[in-house]
Amino acid sequence: MERTLIILKPDTVQRRLTGRILQRFEDKGLSLAAMKLMKISRELAERHYAPHKGKPFYPGLIDYVTSGPVVVVVLQGNRCIDTARTLMGKTFGYEASPGTIRGDFGASRSFNLVHGSDSPESAATEIALYFTEDELLTYAHAGSDWVYPKDDV
């Protein structure tokens, strides 16, 4: 089963969209493995976004993600990364399709509501920045057989 890191960024929390956005991931069949409300320190943000250091948007990204509380979530499920990224939509809300999180709630280049890991490797690295192995749970939902048939992996 695949896992991904999702960060509901400060604009999500400030606009009180946390529950509505989490619901979309759950409605699709993804499960929560871990979740916490926190304020990301500048040091942690710089470690998380290190691959972008030196890019023109980097300083603003660090300022943005450290500007207020966030909800950090680990989701799990079959093809979890691709599923979550499809649900999120294109990075900029004004380019994202209606029906996606960013398409329905976003309009900005700077405030894009949500972060999602882009590969299994980045997911593993990012999850380890925010959660210990003991904080990650794996469990079955009563109706999970109706979301993922046993032969659909």
Residue 75 to residue 80: CA distance in whole angstroms: 7
Can you tell me whether residue 98 is helix, strand or coil? coil
Catalytic residue among 48, 52, 115, 141: 115
Phi first, then psi: give them for residue 75, nearest 5 degrees.
Answer: -105, 155
Cβ(56)–Cβ(49) below 8 Å: no
Q: Is 115 one of the annotated active-site residues of the chain? A: yes
Give the C-alpha distances (Å, rounded to integers) separating 41 from 38, 47, 59. Answer: 9, 10, 14
Residue 81 to residue 66: CA distance in whole angstroms: 24
Give the C-alpha distances (Å, rounded to integers) separating 65 from 26, 39, 79, 128. Answer: 24, 9, 26, 18
Catalytic positions are 115
